[in-house]
A and B are shown apart, each in its own frame.
Chain A
Amino acid sequence: MSSLLAAAPLPPVLPAEGAASAAWLLAALPALGALVLFVGGRRTDRWGHVLGVATVVASFVVAAVLFAGSLGLPAEERVRDLGLYDWIAVGALNVEFGLRIDPLSLTFALLITGVGSLIHIYSVGYMSHDPNRRKFFAQLNLFVAAMLVLVLGNGFVTLYLGWEGVGLASYLLIGFYTGRRSAGSAAKKAFLMNRVGDVGLALAIFLLFLELGTTQYGEVFARAGEISPGALTAITLLLLLGACGKSGQFPLQAWLPDAMEGPTPVSALIHAATMVTAGVYLIARANPLYDLAPVGQLVVTIIGAITLVLGAIIGCAYDDIKKVLAYSTVSQIGYMMLAVGLGPVGYAAALAHLLAHGFFKAGLFLGAGSVMHGMADETDMRRFGGLWRHMPVTFWTFTAGYLALIGFPFLSGFYTKDLIIEASLTAGPVAGWIFGIATLGAAGLTAFYMTRLMLMTFFGPERWKDLHPRRIDGADLEDPPEHYHPHESVAAMTAPMVLLAIGSVGAGAFLVGGERLGTYLEASLGAPIEPHDLPAAFPVGLVPYVATVMMLAGAGLAYVLVGRREVPVERPQRVSLPVRAARADLYANTINEGIIARPGIWLSRALVYLDNRGVDGAVNGIAALLGGSSGRLRRTQTGFVRSYALTILGGSVVLVAALLVVGGAG
């Protein structure tokens, strides 16, 4: 698609110097925090959260210093490598443990530590009643450390280390409320579906080693042209499989909504702002490979397009506030995937949307957490209503995130999503139309499900007044009160929400305006291409208007269908077929269950039978046969080991005799 355009040489990789040689502190600080909190155990209960916050904030300061240093350099000197030690060296393989410090990794490091700091602070308030708060911060610190290794590593194996590391942290945190059975299942499901993706990533690494004898970014990207075209296509598709697992993309999306079993700050940080964008990072990082593999790029865009539509459709059907946001995340990452698949015309758009999404989706989740905090951990929006009066800060910050997400003019999503839509129109004569309709249609759906969420939660009659709070099964919280007492959250929680709201409002204009982000990322992603300069399905200049119309139509429809009607507290069961399908996640779980889980269980049971009756039975049978009868066998078996010692002796005698014969013959 754009292989000719990407032929521009990569900037040289220079050794890290100055402040950049302390970049390992970025990941080491939260790792140390996690270690102290895990090993210290209950002794650190009283101050554990303070340490947890401090390490991430310190890491953010380091990231800011490195970023400032990077800005001060000319573009062609911004890619730096910091080798630490030889990790795995055998024969031709030499896996170095080291860091890649360049605009792409620093952008992610800022997002991870910045949003991470805010969410750590928020968690101090959110988890204040939880007896396991220290454990929570230990796991959250582990996550930040692993995520930083993922984005900062200087090769595919260090990436893999972070990749499975965040998977572990995600597993632990989804299952944090260990008393809930559903949390355990959700955690396991997330890890397993991720591991399916990890197989892809692992095989891609094996292929790279086979083709080039190395897995370090520097050499792989410099010599990407030497890889045979078939292998290159395979590598890009396998990397995509890994990306699908981690980023909840079709067909591996089903774990992400279940992951909402974790505490809400986890949903905000891991399952919205950072970890789930790792797939986008992977493809952006491997851009020199994708730029040479048009088939790989095409499949990335198709997966992204399918996912963004699928997520938006399912998001319309859920009543659980966190699950709506989760499917929204699936859908928005679909946008980013589509964009990175488009090549240089889409990289900057994908990254801009990723950053903006990091702000507004984290803000939305924290807002949802604040609502839950005030509503006895309830997540069913049918039991909310009219909450804007009771939690004003939550309401206004949530509104900022909401408007940013649906692409309200001049807020973040408006700029960044429009960039993606514009880029998608240039995908080709047919693909441009398909992607354009998908992205614009999903923009309308996004406005619909988000407006529905706003109306059901914050507006309308206060349906919770006549209801009793429910006991949330197994959560380590005190028993629910008699009545709902919605209230605004403490400052530790609202302050991060306010900051994220500011980001939601302004990030888009700042990043996209003057092509700040695209220019800064040039050293990592190559020179960006303007969609206006390419042939498009329909005039790119129309996109902001069409998108705004779609947004208004979606929001208006939600108002008509939800805002002007009474919302029943019990979920209506007699619904149309499409709604039923959307409620069932478009049958993704059913399909997984039918073609993987059930046959797997049957196979496993069949093998147990085979192992006991077949293999072992055959062996016992043969033994019995040799022994003449099973009874005789049993008699020799229960005999004394002396007889076996005797047998060994006998064997030795035979041996010696044999040797004598041979020796005599020689």
Chain B
Amino acid sequence: MSALLLALLLLPLIGAAVCGVMAGRENLDRAARAVGLGFSAVSLVLVVIVWSLFSTAPDAPRFQGSLSVEWIPAFGVSFALGLDGIALTMIALLSVLVPIVLVFAAADKLPPGRTGAGFTALILATQGVLVGVFAATDVFLFYVLFEAMLIPMYFLIGRFGGPRRQYAAVKFFLYSFLGGLIMLASVIGLFVASDTRLGQGTFDWTALQGMAAQLPLSTQIPLFLGFFAAFAIKAPLVPFHTWLPDAGAEAPIAGSIILLGLLDKVGTFGFLRYTLPLFPAASRELAPLVLTLAVIGVLYGALLAAAQTDLKRFVAYTSIAHFGFIALGIFAFSSQSIAGSALYMVNHGISTAMLFLVVGLLIRRGGTADMTEYGGVGRAAPLLAGMFLVAGLSTIALPGTNSFISEFLVLLGSFPNQPAFTVIATVGIVFAALYMLWVFQRTMTGPLRGAAVVGDGPGAASAATFGTETGDDSWMRRTTARFGDLNRGEIALLTPLVALILVLGFFPGPVLEVLDPTVAATMSEVGVPDPVTQNGVAR
């Protein structure tokens, strides 16, 4: 399994290098895209194999498929990888989404001077680095990769994005980089502490976990805050979120999916892997602070989402609300809430990818992300509207969809320890329905108008008004044919996500089983007993 894990890390990077070399030649552009897709498909196969090999037995080691090579022996730095349940599910999500994203992007128009090969290379590079981030079991390696993943994403936004891409890319970079630097201080601090406590400095996660958890609270808190700053920016908690709507709106759809679906999860992943196990006392002490930010995020993100007129910014703000739910579950310290958060990370990736894809397909037709330019799309493109609804229902965690399981677990599990925060967050499900149905109503239902009529963007509005007023329907049939419903390829692209949404809504068992041992380990590392037992709350 170690070899497979290494292959999961290296294959996308090799693919990125190959595509990067091909990027110089225009005649190889299509071939480069195909090569990139091939690499991502192989990764997907590998992940399936790794998943089947992963043991969920109670006595199985936390990290499976571990490998470790000395890197900078003077400082105890190793190139060490290993998978726990949470890392495995995140890598699996990554491997599912990357091929979909590559296929989708193949039909995108590129900015002048950019090549598909370059784009593919950047996506694959991000994939490779992300595998490393999730699989790293050496804190120094994690830090390096954490910073390294900014580079391909910076180029994805800055080179392939929308009109304000430079601004968005720089903002994204500065925020993340600043967070990373603060974390660096804590990383060094950990090393220093291990040096004094263990007699020999190390960056090995397991060794550090055993050591750091014993540190006094006064030492844990500053170390905690260093990591927390990086993660709270990455999985943006209010008020560290303002880079996200810009980045999400300006990045190309494929980039937005990778950014919001996966890259941002490094933040919540970091909470689970680093802040909780390494600094349990500080985590418990500062939980109310994090929970406050989390719950504010749930409501704040939802209210702001409701007020957006740009479809991509809208999706970005819904994600801020969702990151609030995830953070709530993590810092509520129960098996259900933590498992719910870990599952939420997977489900949010699926739902957001679906939502962004549908939005992308709509923008391709209408030529604008401005939702006021759309109306009655369901009449011109009923399948597109149907897919939008599926994505939306998954986003608002309707029972029967994947997200319900995770949101339910987060809220149910958070309630015993944090009733007040949970009640406020539960009210968030009304806001969620509000923003989603409002957008659906404004763009998909009602009389056909705006961009949906002729598919030429802003200029179309007058034509639509004309048709509605005269009551003449013949022009409508002519023009809706141009707008067009989903074609076979597009349906095929969305089908796997729809299937995942429904299957995981009714059968979350296989994923929960993989997460379970890691969740149990995290619970014991935090040192909080489960509030509810088989017979209810302990009195």
Q: Which residues of A pack against B, CB within 8 Å?
A: 38, 41, 85-93, 97, 157, 160-161, 163-165, 168, 171, 175, 178-181, 183-185, 187-188, 191-192, 195-196, 198-199, 202-203, 205-207, 209-214, 226, 474, 600, 603-605, 607-608, 611, 615-616, 619, 623, 637-638, 641, 644-645, 647-648, 651-652, 655, 658-659, 662-663, 666
Question: Are A92's CB and B429's CB within 8 A?
Answer: no
**Which of B206-214, B251-259, B267-275, B434-442 sits within the interface?**
B434-442
Using known A-B contacts A604-B306, A615-B239, determine if residue A212 contacts B400 with beta carbons closer than 8 Å.
no
Question: Are A641's CB and B506's CB within 8 A?
Answer: no
17 contacts between A and B (CB under 8 A): A93-B336, A168-B398, A185-B441, A187-B441, A198-B429, A199-B427, A202-B426, A203-B415, A203-B426, A206-B412, A213-B532, A213-B533, A226-B536, A600-B303, A644-B154, A644-B177, A659-B188
Residues of A within 8 Å of B516, CB to CB, are 90
Name A183's closest neighbour in chain B (CB-CB).
Answer: B445
One digit per residue, 1 when the CB lies within 8 angstroms of any chain A CB and 0 when it does not, for chain B 121-161 equals: 00000000000000000000000100100110011001000
Residues of B within 8 Å of A603, CB to CB, are 303
Query: Whole-angstrom distance between the alpha carbons of A603 and B307 in the complex?
Result: 10
Using known A-B contacts A178-B379, A662-B195, determine if residue A211 contacts B412 with beta carbons closer than 8 Å.
no
Q: Shortest Cβ distance from A515 into chain B, in angstroms? A: 37
Question: Are A663's CB and B512's CB within 8 A?
Answer: no
Question: Are A213's CB and B535's CB within 8 A?
Answer: yes
Query: Whole-angstrom distance between the alpha carbons of A637 and B169 in the complex?
Result: 9
Residues of B within 8 Å of A175, CB to CB, are 445
Interface residues in B182-221 by Cβ distance below 8 A to A read 184, 187-188, 191-192, 195-196, 201
Is there a chain A Cβ closer than 8 Å to B79's Cβ? Answer: no
Interface residues in B290-343 by Cβ distance below 8 A to A read 300, 303-304, 306-307, 334-336, 339-340
Residues of B within 8 Å of A164, CB to CB, are 398-400
Is there a chain A Cβ closer than 8 Å to B75's Cβ? Answer: yes
Query: Whole-angstrom distance between the alpha carbons of A383 and B533 in the complex?
Result: 64
Is there a chain A Cβ closer than 8 Å to B288's Cβ? Answer: no
Question: Are B512's CB and A89's CB within 8 A?
Answer: yes
Is there a chain A Cβ closer than 8 Å to B534's Cβ? Answer: yes
Name B531's closest neighbour in chain A (CB-CB).
Answer: A210
Residues of B within 8 Å of A663, CB to CB, are 74-75, 195, 201
Query: Whole-angstrom distance between the alpha carbons of A506 and B170 in the complex?
Result: 75
Q: Shortest Cβ distance from A423 into chain B, in angstroms? A: 34
Query: Whole-angstrom distance between the alpha carbons of A594 and B336 in the complex?
Result: 39
Query: Whole-angstrom distance between the alpha carbons of A85 and B512 in the complex?
Result: 14
Q: Which of A178, A196, A213, A637 contacts B378 (CB 8 A)?
A: A178
Question: Are A651's CB and B147's CB within 8 A?
Answer: yes
Q: Shortest Cβ distance from B304 into chain A, in angstroms? A: 6
Is there a chain A Cβ closer than 8 Å to B174's Cβ? Answer: yes
Is there a chain A Cβ closer than 8 Å to B422's Cβ? Answer: yes
Residues of A within 8 Å of B393, CB to CB, are 168
Residues of A within 8 Å of B75, CB to CB, are 659, 663
**Which of B81-89, B358-366, B403-411 sits within the interface?**
B403-411
Is there a chain A Cβ closer than 8 Å to B367's Cβ? Answer: no
Question: Are B307's CB and A91's CB within 8 A?
Answer: no
One digit per residue, 1 when the CB lies within 8 angstroms of any chain A CB and 0 when it does not, for chain B 375-392 equals: 010110001001000000
Question: Are A184's CB and B430's CB within 8 A?
Answer: no
Query: Whole-angstrom distance between the alpha carbons of A206 and B418 in the complex?
Result: 12
Query: Whole-angstrom distance between the alpha carbons of A594 and B306 in the complex?
Result: 19
Question: Are B173's CB and A641's CB within 8 A?
Answer: yes
Residues of A within 8 Å of B508, CB to CB, are 87-88
Name A196's closest neighbour in chain B (CB-CB).
Answer: B430
Question: Are A655's CB and B184's CB within 8 A?
Answer: yes
Q: Shortest Cβ distance from B380 into chain A, in angstroms? A: 11
Q: Which residues of B pack against A, CB within 8 Å?
A: 74-75, 144, 147, 150-151, 154-155, 158, 166-167, 170, 173-174, 177, 180-181, 184, 187-188, 191-192, 195-196, 201, 238-239, 241-242, 300, 303-304, 306-307, 334-336, 339-340, 376, 378-379, 383, 386, 393, 398-400, 405, 408-409, 411-413, 415-416, 422-423, 426-427, 429-430, 433-434, 437-438, 441, 445-447, 506-509, 512, 516, 519, 530-537
Question: Are B191's CB and A662's CB within 8 A?
Answer: yes
Question: Are B177's CB and A608's CB within 8 A?
Answer: no
Name B175's closest neighbour in chain A (CB-CB).
Answer: A619
Question: Are B426's CB and A211's CB within 8 A?
Answer: no
Question: Are A604's CB and B307's CB within 8 A?
Answer: yes
Question: Are B181's CB and A651's CB within 8 A?
Answer: yes
Name A227's closest neighbour in chain B (CB-CB).
Answer: B536
Q: Which of A41, A187, A195, A641 contacts B430 (CB 8 A)?
A: A195
Query: Whole-angstrom distance between the alpha carbons of A657 and B334 in the complex?
Result: 41
Using known A-B contacts A160-B399, A213-B536, determine if residue A644 contacts B173 with beta carbons closer than 8 Å.
yes
Question: Are A199's CB and B426's CB within 8 A?
Answer: yes
Name B242's closest neighbour in chain A (CB-CB).
Answer: A616
Question: Are B534's CB and A92's CB within 8 A?
Answer: yes
Q: Which of A88, A187, A188, A210 contacts B408 (CB 8 A)?
A: A88
Residues of A within 8 Å of B512, CB to CB, are 88-90
Question: Are A641's CB and B158's CB within 8 A?
Answer: yes
Residues of A within 8 Å of B437, CB to CB, are 171, 187-188, 191-192
Using known A-B contacts A88-B408, A91-B336, A188-B438, determine if residue A195 contacts B174 with beta carbons closer than 8 Å.
no
Name A623's closest neighbour in chain B (CB-CB).
Answer: B174
Ranked 6 nearest A-B pairs via Cβ: A91-B335, A206-B415, A616-B242, A637-B170, A161-B399, A184-B445
Question: Are A202's CB and B532's CB within 8 A?
Answer: no
Q: Which of A87, A195, A659 contacts B429 (CB 8 A)?
A: A195
Question: Are A607's CB and B304's CB within 8 A?
Answer: yes
Find the residue from A198, A203, A616, A659 having the highest chain B CB count within 10 A: A659
Query: Whole-angstrom distance between the alpha carbons of A645 and B415 in the complex?
Result: 45
Q: Shortest Cβ distance from A55 into chain B, in angstroms? A: 18
Q: Which of A195, A212, A641, A651 contacts B536 (CB 8 A)?
A: A212
